[in-house]
Amino acid sequence: MEVDWFYIACGLYVMAAFVTDVRSMKIPNRLTLPVTALGVLAHGIWGGWEGLLFSAAGFAACFGILFLMYAIGAVGAGDVKLFGGIGAWVGLSFGIHVIVYSVLYAGAIGLIILLFRRDSAKRIRHMAGGLAGFFMMGSLKLVSKEKTLKFPFMLAVLPGFISACVYMI
């Protein structure tokens, strides 16, 4: 089975973002913006208008989904741009799979972190109250003013990308 070089390029992009996010809890624009533009350009060169549409659809869907997650405070702005780049390189279907796997891994990582913290019972009550408020009143205020549980989302994205590769390619 031949692996498409677009997936290899995207994998290198994800690994670079992993290193920067784990080190600084930021994914810089100097990484995301040129790599995203290069993905669109590469698809345009090799696939013409069809390639451009493939890349644009992947970018729009992945960027849009992560933007919604950013709006509720689940991810940072760098993650939004990162996923726009992932979608630009590998398209809509693969990009959505990476998002789903990444969210599942993030949930598992968050649960593990939560279980090993002293204030876990308080945090679980707060999350349950926030979710209940969301479903009862439509309020998107899931995070309070108190310190939230944070970890680099790339800890979940890298295994999410690898899982998507294993199951999709």
Q: Where are the alpha helices (DSSP H) in the chain?
A: 5-24, 29-71, 77-115, 120-137, 154-168
Express each pLDDT in 129-142 by its tens digit.
766 766 666 655 54
Q: For 116-149, b where at least 16 C-beta lie within 10 A, e where not — what string? A: eeeeeeebeebbeebeeeeeeeeeeebeeeeeee
The DSSP output letter for 117 is: S
Separation in Å, CA 90 to CA 12, 13, 47, 54, 73: 13, 12, 13, 8, 26
Instruction: Tell me what pLDDT residue 61 has.
Output: 98
**Averaged pLDDT for residues 26-42:** 96
149: pLDDT strictly greater than 50: yes
Whether 43 and 49 have beta carbons less than 8 Å apart is answered as no
Residue 22 confidence (pLDDT):
94
CA 149 to CA 91: how far, in whole Å? Answer: 31
Least-confidence region, from 33-42, 102-111, 113-122? 113-122
Q: Is the pLDDT of residue 51 over 90?
A: yes
Residue 146 carries which DSSP code?
S
CA 96 remoteness from chain centre: 10
Provide the domain limits for residue 133: 5-168
As for how many domains the chain has, the answer is 1
* Per-position b or e across 68-78, b if 16+ CB within 10 A of its CB: ebbeeeebbeb
pLDDT digits (tens, 9 = 90+) for 78-111: 999 999 999 999 999 999 999 999 999 999 998 8
